[in-house]
Amino acid sequence: MAEEAAEQQSGEAAAVVGLLGFKPHLAVPGMKADAAVQFYKAAFGAEELRRVAHPKRKAEQELPLILFAELKIGSSLLLVSDCIDAAGEGGTAAVIGGGISFRLETEDVDAAVKMAVAAGAEVVSEVAEDESGVVVKLKDPVGVVWVVSAAVGNKTLDAEAEA
């Protein structure tokens, strides 16, 4: 499987790893993700397809903490989150792309990561997300952070988008 992938590179590679989506992901500092979402609706006609709160957030906390909001702008998608950890907060200035990363949704996270690493990407970390399982954070040669994950509840998303 991995050998096949290596042989078929470039255009066909995407098919091999079952690429499902590519979405820019904006991590907003200062708990202002909700404000950002409201702005994108007003400013650019963004449509909020869904919003997922952080599952570990305690009820007594006043501010909503957005794990991600999925916005549709034109025919493309944008994810918006509150920064939820030290890496998200502190890491913004350290890499090109600042609070923006690129999310790559795939049918096979391992295969996608293997292909990227073979091409020169560096694995930054593996983190577990409650809804999508393991996601892998890569840094590319330019310095952009790519987060490779399984599709995050696309069935739910489709259902909501149709409703």
Chain residues that interact with a second copy, rule: CB under 8 A:
9-17, 19-24, 26, 28-29, 32, 35-36, 39-47, 72-78, 92-93, 95-100, 102, 104-105, 112, 115-116, 118-121, 140-142, 144, 146
Give, as one character, the DSSP assignment of residue 14.
H
Closest to a second copy by CB, 67 or 145: 145
- Residues in the chain, overall count: 163
- Which burial class, exposed, middle or buried, applies to 87 when counting CB atoms under 10 A from its CB (0-12, 13-18, 19+)? middle
Closest to a second copy by CB, 47 or 55: 47
Q: Are 4 and 115 in contact (CB under 8 A)?
A: no
Minimum CB distance to a second copy, residue 59 (Å): 27
Q: Are 82 and 101 in contact (CB under 8 A)?
A: no
- Which burial class, exposed, middle or buried, applies to 10 when counting CB atoms under 10 A from its CB (0-12, 13-18, 19+)? exposed
Minimum CB distance to a second copy, residue 89 (Å): 12
Q: Are 29 and 92 in contact (CB under 8 A)?
A: yes
Minimum CB distance to a second copy, residue 120 (Å): 6
Minimum CB distance to a second copy, residue 135 (Å): 15
Closest to a second copy by CB, 93 or 128: 93
Closest to a second copy by CB, 55 or 74: 74
- For the CA atoms of 112, 153, 49, 88, the dihedral, rounded to the nearest 10 degrees, stands at -60
Closest to a second copy by CB, 122 or 130: 122
Q: Name the H helices within the chain.
A: 2-8, 11-17, 33-44, 86-90, 109-119, 154-162
Minimum CB distance to a second copy, residue 68 (Å): 15
